[in-house]
Structure 1
Amino acid sequence: MREQALYIDGEWFTRPATADVRDPWDGSLAGTYAIGDADDATAAVTAARRALAEGLPPHRRAEILAAAADGVARRAEEFAGMLRAEAGKPITAARQEVQRAVTTLRLSAEEARRLPGEAVQMDAYPAGDGMLAFTVAEPLGVVAAITPFNFPLNLVAHKIGPALAAGCPVVLKPSERTPLTAGLLVEVLTEAGLPAGWLNLVTGDPGVIVPAWQHDERVAVISFTGSAAVGWQIKAGSPRKQHILELGSNTAMVIDSGADLGRAVAAAVASGYGFSGQACVSLQRLYVHESVVDEVLTRLAAAVQDLAVGDPGDEDTVVGPLISPEAKERVTAWVRGAVRDGARVVAGGGERSGVLEPTVVTDVPEGADLLCAEVFGPVVTVVPVKSVADGIAAANDSRFGLNAAIFTDDLANALAFSRRTEAGSVLVNVPPAFRADHMPYHGVKESGHGREGVKYAVESLVSPKLVILAA
């Protein structure tokens, strides 16, 4: 069991008030965390501002991030065990997340050595005769990083790594459901040589900590991953700051009539039910050409019934517990509500070992939460469509737009989908939940603002200062 303290200006601080972190699988105590307040949040910013003023050369940032990547790799099983305990993440998926975080930190180390800058051809016009000019990347300032429960290590690494690479100190508020893994990462970065003030960890009530950072003029950037409602509220409450928002979605995928159905169904299963569908790019809406919809439903139902469900400590488990009993009840209520309105459950819908089964639903009425809101659970809704054009229109009929995918053997349909689908990433014959940590990653509409992916996040966290020299 881990007892998580606050980390401010290079020191760990306990607090009289603490809260428990419970294992979503069996309710056992995974650890406790200190409850910080607005004064702690402000003290963290003060430390970060001092660090910013002192500076840290890019080569040192790179060395520290590379050493931290090695540190996470050495402690991989410890990190995976913590992910399993506090998030209920199946152990195989937890190990995959650890390896992704190692990659994210290594990519960040590389980007610290190649910050953006360019020569400006001043004498392209007469006014610039005799001048030499170039841009240098300057950090925007202190970054407030606010992270969700579902990827407690890699999403934290995606906030911290690019910020440090860019030269921006960080004040970090992880999810109150999964704060312990973040504390382990702070330990690793400290052991890697990160000086005091460059990374500060404040845990507690987001309703107390986040407003303190919103209203603190010394915070230059708020980087938030979480629900759309909260993300846009944060942006509205701090309009003069820079924002990087990675928000929710109700991811769509289209299966064309000539698609490789085995490959497409495998992609739907992996994207819809991995970690119980608790990812912003988890497949939720599956639009299938009417000529193959019956076969897809049969294959999909058989596949999900074969998925290992239950104890996240079991190496074979794919679908473990949702993050909380409240989340489980909400998803169950959405399925029941759709069924009352005429939907049909093709597979799942119940529980196995106390875990919500992977569920396939069809005939869901328009306007139902299963189609319009973000389920964040192991439920995929199958909808027949007459054509790929209809599938595109249906996919676009959403306030979200993060990832969208199509499986097709028709190049014209692939190109039409790529051009007309409203999403930050469009994937052809690739599962919709796919993400590589070096690629640009962002949403449109209510799904986000700004871009992540290590290189692209770094570019968002620096300002190009123009330097002009004349003899």
Structure 2
Amino acid sequence: MVISVRTKVQGKQMHIAGKWVSSERVIEVRDPQDNSLIDTVPAATAEEMAKAIEAAKEGVKIAAEMPVHQRIAILNKTADIIERRKEEYATTIAREGSKTIREARKEVTRCIETIRISAEEARRIHGETIPFDQMPGSENRMGYYYRFPIGLIAAITPFNDPLNLVAHKVGPAIASGNAIIVKPATVTPLSAILLAEALLEAGLPPQVLTVITGNGSEIGDVLVTHPAVRMISFTGGSQAGLDISRKAGLKKIGMELGSNSPVIVLADADLEEAVESTVSGAFWAAGQNCLGVQRVYIEESIFDTFKDKFTARTKQYRTGDKLSEWTDMGPMITEKEAIRVETWVNEAIEKGATLICGGERNGAFYSPTVLADLPEDCTLAKEEVFGPVVMLYPVSDLEAAIQQSNSADYGLQAGIFTSNLEKAFSAIKHLEVGGVMINDSTDYRIDAMPFGGVKGSGLGREGIQFAIHEMTEPKVVCFKLPK
């Protein structure tokens, strides 16, 4: 919600290429749990975004000249600062978003790891020598290639990991000598501003980083279409991703667009482990997780047993106050999103799905929900729910499970629970995804691994080393020597 600065006390400022800046209008940042006002941030205009991009051009020059040892030192010091302020960062994540305090602390820990890995990878941006004499007539030539920064990167980040997903774009960008403009989610901008504070305190030249807050409908097109922006790194919904790709023009694009993640549970699996892992994977961050378990395909002979165990564990999930150490799941990001999930669940039930447990909404809270017997034509069966809802399906065998897993137009990660190595490798080969987790849910990730999907789940890969590769280009150098 955009309001006049005169009607509310001004809160946080945005950071534009070296300066902390206020705006004539502000956006209220509210806690989805009780709608209480946490703070305000500037609501930038299209004109302010254009000025920010022009100012960031100086940051491009500065970033490219920063020696590697300076990048390493800044990133390591940033991680130290975040570690010292860990509880402050965690509380901010929990208050402005959906995560419980325990979930938020884990995100801060991962952010620290992401920044430290970025520092390590800064020293490993390598090239190779090229044997030019492989071509007849080139016997007197020798050379190599090295990787150089592409320039100005635009990072558009979502609400569900408001600190670590920003770090996954900012850390590699700085490590590889680029300048970056971050446009955080409107509902969760405070964590990105905290990260900027740490980087600047650590000595990052201020022109290298911009964090600009505002509504995507007002400032997004300026950012993605501007010719000075050489790469767009976007995490968010598939429709927004398609819109960006149509508008961006001739520039690099990296996109993680979510999923409808499948998990396969075979009869030879450890059921206790499978249940615990898939319940956690389904309801982490109120299900608002691109890796969240949405579909579970269970071999018919164990379907009823798995369903009963899964349901019993789901009913033990404690929803409530995000800042309580005892809470397992908080609210969704807005009441509007909870209403959307409620609508999708009700549609499925009206078309014949069986509600096993959950299905209740209270404001922005939506209870952990388990469904079975889903018709193929309901929205839940085809789209990413991005909420605390999971569907259970009986299948005859692994082949049927793989076929159904691949039926959706998504392919981020999949999981399989089995003690049979041959079946595990069959799933690895045939599942159409960017990652297969064996005896783990889809919700497993470390920050150093390549991360991304196929089909409707996006383009390119994140994970520090792999993001750096996306954020740099190879330059060939060839010396013609005298004969």
What TM-score do the two structures reach when normalised by structure 2?
0.95
1:2 is displaced (CA, Å) by 8.6
List gaps (5 residues or longer) in structure 2: 1-8
For 2:28, the equivalent position in structure 1 comes to 20
Count of aligned pairs between the two proteins? 471
> Which of 161, 167, 185 does residue 175 from structure 1 map onto?
185
Q: How does 1:33-52 map to 2 (within 5 A)?
A: 33-52=41-60
Distance 1:302 1:144 in 2: 45
Partner Cα distance (1:127, 1:142) in 2: 39
Partner of residue 157 from structure 1, selected from 144, 148, 167: 167
Deviation at 1:386, TM superposition (A): 0.6
Q: Find the residue that maps to 1:197 and give its secondary structure.
A: helix
Tell me how far apart the structure 1 counterparts of residues 406 and 98 of structure 2 sit (CA, whole Å): 33
What do the CA deviations read for 1:227-248 (whole angstroms, capped 9, x no partner)? Answer: 0110121011113110000112
Cα deviation for residue 66 of structure 1 reads 0.9
**How far, CA to CA, are the matches of 2:220 and 2:196 in structure 1?**
19
Q: 1:421 & 1:127 partners in 2: Cα distance?
A: 47
Letter in 2 for 1:13: V
Name the structure 2 match of 1:320.
Answer: 330
Matched, 1:429 2:448: no
Q: Do the aligned partners of 2:267 and 2:302 also contact (CA within 8 Å) in 1?
A: yes
After superposition, the CA RMSD in angstroms is 1.4
Give distance in 2, aligned partners of 1:199 and 1:323: 27
Deviation at 1:307, TM superposition (A): 1.1
- Residue 262 in 1 paired to residue 276 in 2? no
CA contact (8 A) 2:337 2:364 kept: no
Of the three residues 337, 360, 369, the one matched with 1:350 is: 360
Give how far 1:436 is off: 0.4
Once residues 236 and 352 of structure 1 are traced to their aligned partners in structure 2, the CA distance between those partners, rounded to angstroms, is 38
One-letter amino acid of the structure 2 residue matched with residue 92 of structure 1: R
Q: Which residue of 2 aligns with 1:337?
A: 347
Percent identity reads: 39
2:28 maps to 1:7: no
- Kindly indicate whether the alpha-carbon contact (under 8 Å) linking 2:338 and 2:363 is maintained by their aligned counterparts in 1: no
CA contact (8 A) 1:392 1:420 kept: yes
SS in 1 for 2:33: coil
Q: Which residue in the other structure is 2:208 paired with?
A: 198
Aligned residue runs from structure 1 range 43-442, under 5 A: 43-54=51-62, 55-351=65-361, 355-442=365-452
Quick check: 367-376 or 49-58, which moved more?
Answer: 49-58
Distance 1:375 1:49 in 2: 39
Worse-matched range after superposition: 1-10 or 397-406: 1-10
Q: How far has the Cα of 1:16 moved from its partner?
A: 1.2
Runs of 4+ in 1 over 6 A off after TM superposition: none
Q: Is the 8 A contact 1:335 1:370 kept in 2?
A: yes
Residues 353, 303 of structure 1: CA spacing in aligned structure 2 closer, same or farther, 3 A cutoff? Answer: farther
Is 2:456 aligned against 1:451? Answer: no
Alpha-carbon distance in structure 1 between the residues aligned to 2:407 and 2:378: 13
How far apart are the structure 1 equivalents of 2:309 and 2:417?
A: 15
CA 1:109–1:310: 2 relative to 1, 3 Å: same
CA contact (8 A) 1:310 1:353 kept: no
* Secondary structure in structure 2 of the residue aligned to 1:436: coil
How far, CA to CA, are the matches of 2:89 and 2:191 in structure 1? Answer: 7
SS in 2 for 1:36: coil
Return closer, same or farther for 1:361/1:2 CA change in 2, 3 Å cut-off: farther
CA 1:255–1:78 in structure 2 vs 1: closer, same or farther (change >3 Å)? same
Q: Which runs of 5+ in 1 are unaligned?
A: none
Q: Name the CA distance, whole Å, in 1 between partners of 2:152 and 2:362.
A: 46
What is the TM-score with the length of structure 1 in the denominator? 0.98
Report the CA distance between 1:352 and its aligned residue.
Answer: 7.2
